Amino acid sequence: MLFSRISRIQRTGISGCRWFLFHRPDHHHQFFRSENPLHPTESTQKVLGCRETFSRDLPALHGFSHNIHHQSSSIVEQDPFSLVADELSLLANRLQSMVVAEVPKLASAAEYLFKMGVEGKRFRPTVLLLMATALNVSVPEPYLSGPGDVSTKELRARQQSIAEITEMIHVASLLHDDVLDDADTRRGIGSLNFVMGNKLAVLAGDFLLSRACVALAALKNTEVVSLLAKVVEHLVTGETMQMTSTSQQCCSMEYYMQKTYYKTASLISNSCKAIALLAGQTAEVAMLAYEYGRNLGLAFQLMDDILDFTGTSASLGKGSLSDIRHGIITAPMLFAMEEFPQLHAVVDQGFDDPANVDLALEYLGKSRGIQRARELATKHANLAAAAIDSLPESNDEDVRKSRRALVDLTQRVITRTK
Ligand code: GRG
């Protein structure tokens, strides 16, 4: 039998045509309507300064297998989230208290996405708290800052503060994003702009951002302040790149990866680096922390973009196919375009006409776009795991456990369904 199972999605296109997504045993995905043979294709992309070749086959992925990152240290005895569960609930309480505002309407707007039940996956704080423990290794002599050294407890509190700041910046960006996208849901509930209007949603985002700035300033570490200030610039740059892209930029993998770094990976990568800097770690260790976050963030967004095609709107908390319907061209479609250059003309026409959405999906179904995007996500997940494996050795069981959890997260990111 050609197809192993019918996917979760069974969709009626806007134009009225019915779409079924099949998962095939060979991991090709196919939107039902065509079974055309697939053509090998190869393209070279420049991603964030390094040239990489993405080919139909995998050897081009710099020797990184697309299979699960196998190594002795990746045996996971505990769910990564449960390892930091106590600290995550402290963080939830602290976030609630940090967004208390003088004006009641602003307070209720600002705490909207911090309420129990709509707190999101807490993916970023989990990574950062695990990273804090993973880097809990002695710092070489020249890096010790002398009498000003903070106690272990104080250091942990400062690193927890980075996790809180990161989550506040993240939620602020979600609030602004929903206004820009005119979204009516977020995390399965009405978006703040939908419930309270655009003006209050923008102000609530600004308020969260300002509270994050206050907390950041309190750390009195200018390097960390400038890292996170840069992140906010990147968020705005990435969003603007997406909003203003020309049709040539829309079809460029390099542009897409740069935008993806700005919109998603910069926050987690620079926050990971901040965790290392606060611990007084060496530049090399800080860079490995950054590389872990960068590659994890890229893998995370690539999967998000795949799930926008393959997931259900219930599990994503937003309408499926929302990217393409908003004219946002992501990795699966970019890879499909390499196999079917005719797609360029469809993209150029835009997706206001639902028939164009259906046509693009038809090409995507015939292509290896979903599979190649998945392979790229896997490559970045493996690079993230490799960064953890390159950290200085430690015999401390907590450190090792957190590192295994960070490696485990790289695999969870690429196997997640929501
Ligand atoms: C106000 C800082 C600020 C920025 C304004 C609008 C904008 C500029 C940037 C948008 C950035 C953005 C929303 C990027 C998408 C990032 C992303 C992958 C969000 C989804 O993250 P999840 O799945 O969400 O972790 P949960 O709900 O689980 O927290």
Cβ neighbours of 176 (radius 10 Å): 22
Which residue has a Cα nearest atom 7 of ligand 1?
173
Is any atom of ligand 1 closer than 6 Å to the C-beta of 191?
Answer: no
Which long-range contacts (C-beta less than 8 Å, at least 24 apart) are formed by 351-356? Answer: 351/324, 351/325, 351/326, 351/327, 354/13, 354/14, 354/15, 355/15
Rounded Cα distance, 105 and 101, in Å: 9
pLDDT digits (tens, 9 = 90+) for 20-73: 333 333 333 333 322 222 222 223 233 332 323 222 222 222 223 333 344 334
Q: What is the pLDDT of residue 161?
A: 98
Which atom from ligand 1 is nearest to the alpha carbon of 113? 27
Probe ligand 1: pick from 177, 192, 216, 233, max atoms within 8 Å of CB? 177
Which atom belonging to ligand 1 lies closest to the Cα atom of 180? 6
Which residue is it, tokens 């901040």? 274
Ligand 1 atom with the shortest distance to the CA of 121? 28
Tally: H helices and E strands in the chain: 19, 7
Whether the CB of 11 sits within 6 Å of ligand 1: no
Q: What are the structure tokens assigned to 262, written together?
A: 């700005």
When pLDDT is averaged across residues 258-282 and rounded to a whole number, the result is: 98
**29-31 and 189-190 strand pairing:** unpaired
CB of 305 closer than 6 angstroms to any ligand 1 atom? no
3-state secondary structure 227-290: HHHHHHHHHHHHHHHHHHCCHHHHCCHHHHHHHHHHHHHHHHHHHHHHHHHHCCCCHHHHHHHH
Asked which of 22-26, 336-340, 375-379 is least confident by mean pLDDT, the reply is 22-26
Average of per-residue pLDDT values in the chain: 81
Q: Is 120 in the pocket of ligand 1 (CB under 6 A)?
A: yes
Question: Residue 40's pLDDT is what?
Answer: 26
Of residues 46 and 406, which shows the higher confidence score?
A: 406
Position 160 pLDDT exceeds 60: yes
Check pocket membership of 235 for ligand 1, CB cut-off 6 A. yes
CA 356/CA 353 separation, integer angstroms = 6
| Residue range 60-91, pLDDT digits in tens | 222 233 333 443 344 446 789 999 999 999 99
Check pLDDT > 80 for residue 409: yes
Please give the pLDDT value at position 281. Answer: 97
- Residue matched to tokens 């973009």: 305
Pairwise CA distance, residues 310 & 304, whole Å:
10
Residue 116 confidence class, pLDDT cut points 50, 70, 90: confident
Which is the closest atom of ligand 1 to the Cα of 206?
1
Whether the pLDDT of residue 167 is over 90: the answer is: yes
Q: What is the pTM of this model?
A: 0.82
Average pLDDT (261-266) is 98
**If you take atom 20 of ligand 1, which residue's CA is the nearest one?**
174
Confidence of residue 117 (pLDDT cuts 50, 70, 90): confident
The single-letter code of the amino acid at 308 is D
Ligand 1 neighbourhood includes 311 CB (under 6 angstroms): no
At 418, is the pLDDT very low, low, confident or very high (cuts 50, 70, 90)? confident
Determine the average pLDDT of the residues in 98-120.
Answer: 93
DSSP 356-399: HHHHHHHHHHHSSHHHHHHHHHHHHHHHHHHHHHTSPP---HHH
Alpha carbon 124 to its chain's center: 9
Give the list of residues 6+ apart from residue 227 with CB closer than 8 angstroms, or none.
Answer: 270, 271, 273, 274, 277
